[in-house]
Structures are given as C-alpha cells and as structure tokens.
Structure 1
Amino acid sequence: MSTAEVTAAPAEEYTPELRADDARALVKRCALWGAGAGLLPFPLLDVALVTGVQVKMIYELSKLYDVPFSENRAKAIIGSLANTVVPGTAAAGLVGGVASLVKSVPVVGTVIGLAVSPTVSYAVTYAIGRVFIQHFETGGTLLNFNPDQLREHFKAEFEAAKADAPSTVEAAKAAADTKTEAKPAATKAS
C-alpha cells in the first residue's frame, strides 16, 4: 500500500448534539466558577469577577455557535437579564450587587453574604447561559437578542438553577473540583 492510499480516519464530526452538549457543559462550568467568585469576602470584587465569568461564557458560547461577539452588548444583556431577578443590578451595573454589598456589614454581613452570594451568582450565570444557548440554537445573535422577550424563560432557568446551586462552600468547592477533572469537550472538525 502506498503512502498516497493511507488516509487518516476522519475526525469525529461536530454535530449539533455535540455542540449542545459542549454548550451545556460550558454553562455548568461557568456557573460553578461564578459560585466560586461569589465566595470572595470582598464586596464588589466578587461582582466584577462574576460579571467577567459571564462575559467570558457568552464569548465562548458565541465562538461555539459561530456568532459575532460584542463585549459591550454582552454586558448590557447581562445587566438587563440580571435586573429581572436581582432588582437594582442594571442601575448599578452589577450582577449580584445586593448580595455583595451585604458583605460589607461587619461579621454578620460577611456570613450572610457568603451564604447568599454564591447561590445568586451560580443561578444568574447558569440562567444567562441557558438563555443564550436557546437563543443561539434558534439562529439568534447578540444583535437581535431581546431581553424583554426572554425574561420569563430567564426567570424559570434562574429558579431551577437556584434549586440546583451548591448550598455550602464545601459543595461549591467539590462541584468545581469535579468539573475540572471532566474530560475536555469535543473539538470542531476542520
């Protein structure tokens, strides 16, 4: 057999099902990172990190679905959706800002903030990711994303994620450790 006749086996085709699986895994991983960032005892630093995780998640989802990305548009959408479940966040430009600010109250505030902030951060990040998956799966882009039309779906995803969120620092750390050991996602065939 000549070298011209030897061909490599075709790479696994990147199907819509594999892409959806990768998207869900990405959202779950980012939600856990969001919960971890919510554990930080420093008011507002945790908010900045959670927002960064959410923007990065939307960027990665945009790449996965071959959708053009705009950081400013992503931040505006995040603020609009988060305001649905955490009032006042859009005005302050902060996701989870209320839970974060509670941490500034000595002792009691820190304890309450650490109990609430990871759950809120996890649930908001997860719900944002799930809404974007649905939007991108139906051919949407960041430019035609209408938060008002997806608000009810976001609320439902948020409530489901809140129920599923790690409830303690140990659970959040264990969940994050489990996800870092997961096998890497399939790659697109070239």
Structure 2
Amino acid sequence: MTATAKEENTEVQDVDLEHRLEMARSTSKNYVLGAMGVGMIPIPIVDLAGLTVLQLKMLHSLSKMYGVKFSKDIGKSLIASLIGGAAPAPLGISLASLTKSIPIVGTIVGSAGVAVVAGASTYALSRVFIQHFESGGNFLNFDPEAVRAFYEDEFEKGKAYAENLKKDAGAKGGAKVA
C-alpha cells in the first residue's frame, strides 16, 4: 500500500468514526425523547418499567453501532448498578413516579418531573456507554464504579438537555413533553 493510499484509508476511518459518534448521539437524542414520553405515563411504577425497557433497547442499539456483543441480562445488571448507585436519578424518578398517585395535581406534577428525570437518566446512560464503547470497551469490562462520577455529571447536564428538548418541542408546536 502506498503512502497516499494509507493516508486516504486513515481519513476514511476518521470519517467513519466521526459518523458513528454522530449516529450514536442522534440515537441517544431519540431515546431521551422516548424516555421523556415514557415518563408521561400517568400510572406510577409502569413508567419505571417502561423506562428500563427503553434504556435496555438503547444499549442494544448503541452496542450494535460499535460492534459490541449485547447481553440483555448483563445490560439490565449494568443499568441497575450504575443508576442504582447514583443518588439523584433513582430517587428522583421514584419520588416523581409515586407523586403521580395523588389525584389530579399529582398526575400533572409527577408526569412533568418523571419526564425530565427519565430524559436526564437516559442521556447520562447513553453518554457513559458511548464513551465506554468509543474507547473500545464492552459489557464485560464495564465498571460502574469507575464511571459513576461521570454518570452523575452527565445526569446534571441531561436535566438541562431534557428541559431544552421540552421547550423546543413546545416552541415548534409539536407534541408537548410534560
């Protein structure tokens, strides 16, 4: 292979890697929107079950993009250990979900709260796994403790991200999220 051919091959690989990252972030956005929609389900606990299924599907989609073998059981375990160990996410989602059981006002307030927290949690989860897969990681070498602080930082960013998506949906006259 000539030097020029090697340079062109490297450029193609760089474009492919950039395209993959762009696609992963786009996939993440779609799942964040989906999580916010799931958060609007007015029945407590059903929203949490739906969110778990959605996040598991997101991990499956991301793993396919990165050529990482997916395991549903390992995925569930990793989601639970990462999110369960992070203070704000599970507590916020659980409390907001339970708030929905208060007639009328609770449903409105709880749904709005769960939508944003579910979006933020999904955003953070996607960012953690995108970073892990980008660095060549897989489900077997994922260490939730090692990325917990990153998850918590991304969760905070995710709240603002979800709020912005909610505002954008309202400003464009689309379906309002919470």
TM more than 0.5: yes
Structure 1 residue 107: Cα displacement? 2.2
Contact 1:32 1:172 (C-alpha < 8 Å) held by counterparts? no
TM norm structure 1: 0.76
For 2:131, the equivalent position in structure 1 comes to: 134
Following the alignment from structure 1 to structure 2, what is the Cα–Cα distance between the partners of residues 169 and 127? 17
Q: Match of 2:34, as an amino acid?
A: W
Deviations 1:79-100 (A, max 9, x none): 22222034666xxxxx933321
For 2:102, the equivalent position in structure 1 comes to: 105
For 1:22, the equivalent position in structure 2 comes to: 23
Q: Tell me: CA distance 1:17–1:87, structure 2 relative to 1, closer, same or farther (3 Å).
A: closer
Q: Tell me: CA distance 1:155–1:121, structure 2 relative to 1, closer, same or farther (3 Å).
A: same
> What is the root-mean-square deviation of aligned Cα atoms in Å?
2.6
For 2:147, the equivalent position in structure 1 comes to: 150
Bigger proportion of residues as helix: 2
For 2:47, the equivalent position in structure 1 comes to: 46
Following the alignment from structure 1 to structure 2, what is the Cα–Cα distance between the partners of residues 141 and 133? 10
Following the alignment from structure 1 to structure 2, what is the Cα–Cα distance between the partners of residues 127 and 54? 11
For 2:122, the equivalent position in structure 1 comes to: 125
For 2:36, the equivalent position in structure 1 comes to: 35
Structure 1 residue 103: Cα displacement? 0.7
Residue range with higher mean Cα deviation, 54-63 or 96-105: 96-105
Deviations 1:61-119 (A, max 9, x none): 11000101111111111122222034666xxxxx9333212211222321220120000
Q: Which ranges of structure 1 fall in alignment gaps of 5 or more residues?
A: 1-11, 90-94, 179-190
Please identify runs of 4+ aligned residues in structure 1 that moved more than 6 A: 167-170
Q: Tell me: CA distance 1:88–1:127, structure 2 relative to 1, closer, same or farther (3 Å).
A: closer
Q: Tell me: CA distance 1:155–1:22, structure 2 relative to 1, closer, same or farther (3 Å).
A: same
Following the alignment from structure 1 to structure 2, what is the Cα–Cα distance between the partners of residues 102 and 134? 34
Deviations 1:39-78 (A, max 9, x none): 1111111111111110000000110001011111111111
Structure 1 residue 34: Cα displacement? 0.2
Q: Tell me: CA distance 1:87–1:154, structure 2 relative to 1, closer, same or farther (3 Å).
A: closer
TM norm structure 2: 0.80
Q: Tell me: CA distance 1:164–1:55, structure 2 relative to 1, closer, same or farther (3 Å).
A: same
For 1:62, the equivalent position in structure 2 comes to: 63
| SS at structure 2 position matched to 1:96 | helix
Contact 2:44 2:100 (C-alpha < 8 Å) held by counterparts? yes
Q: Match of 1:133, as an amino acid?
A: I
For 1:159, the equivalent position in structure 2 comes to: 156
